[in-house]
Amino acid sequence: MSMKIKKGDNVIIIAGKDKGKTGKIEKVFPKTEQVLVEEVNIITRHQKNKRVRSQGQVIKKAAPVHISNVALVDGKKPVRVGYKTEGDKKVRVSKKTGKEI
């Protein structure tokens, strides 16, 4: 399946605990159909100390979100993405307005 969302796109979360939050896509995982959105789906991981006399720590980091729970943002509203061919180029288009993304 081809993913219609790419790195650097602004997206909104449409389902899950972070519903309504917006962010920029940092990384895309095509095999698992997931995306990493900055400051969304934050998880905490407890890390043990690696050396003697050092402290362990709690690390907060973003976890991937499934592509079906994310929608591309055009202005402030979520939009669906379609494709249009212009000459020999394939261009992403907003299905609501028909504008190029």
Q: Are 47 and 59 in contact (CB under 8 A)?
A: yes
- 3-state class percentages of the chain: helix first, strand second, coil last, to nearest 5: 5, 50, 45
pLDDT for res 74: 86
Q: Are 66 and 36 in contact (CB under 8 A)?
A: no
Instruction: Enter the pTM of the model.
Output: 0.82
Does the domain at 10-94 match CATH 3.40.50.970? Answer given as no
Comparing 76 with 58, the larger pLDDT belongs to 58
Residue 1: pLDDT over 80: no
pLDDT for res 2: 66
Q: Are 68 and 78 in contact (CB under 8 A)?
A: no
User: Minimal CA–CA distance to 71: which of 91, 94, 90, 43?
Assistant: 94
Spatial distance between the Cα atoms of 77 and 84, rounded to a whole number of angstroms = 21
17-37 pLDDT, tens digit per residue, is 999 999 999 999 999 999 999
Residue 27, helix vs strand vs coil: strand
69-100 pLDDT, tens digit per residue, is 999 998 888 999 999 998 899 999 998 888 88
